[in-house]
A = this chain, B = another copy of it.
Amino acid sequence: METVADNWGTLALVALTEGSYRFNALRRRVDGVSEKMLAQTLHALERDGLVTRDVQATFPPRVEYTLTAPGARIAETLRALIDALEAEIPAIMTAREDYDRRH
């Protein structure tokens, strides 16, 4: 549960709602993630059955990451959460300004 909800797990799942990605393409898409953290995150998601890893034994190697059905369902609710948070951003920003002015 913690692995899904962490920063990189969320971003990777949401990015994969757009379709399959190869490792480095996904890394470019998930801005700021290091190789290590993306590899670690994808392993955890694969272990939980939320992402599949399709290796093509070519040279250079191609590895495609794709959401499974459970992964897609979770990614969708993550997106709903992100949308809800973004909708509140203006309110949060003004609340912060008020708070900071008073403290």
Residues on A facing B (Cβ under 8 Å): 1-2, 4-5, 7, 10, 46-50, 70, 73-74, 77-78, 80-81, 84-85, 87-89, 91-92, 94-96, 98-100
Contact = CB atoms under 8 A, between A and B. Distances in A.
A74 B70 contact: no
Given A74-B85, A78-B81, A84-B77, A91 B1 contact: no
Contacts of A95: 47-50
A70 B88 contact: yes
Contacts of A10: 5
27 contacts: A1-B85, A1-B89, A2-B7, A4-B85, A5-B5, A5-B10, A46-B99, A47-B96, A47-B99, A48-B92, A48-B96, A49-B92, A49-B95, A49-B96, A49-B99, A50-B95, A70-B88, A70-B92, A73-B84, A73-B88, A74-B84, A74-B85, A74-B88, A77-B85, A78-B81, A80-B81, A81-B81
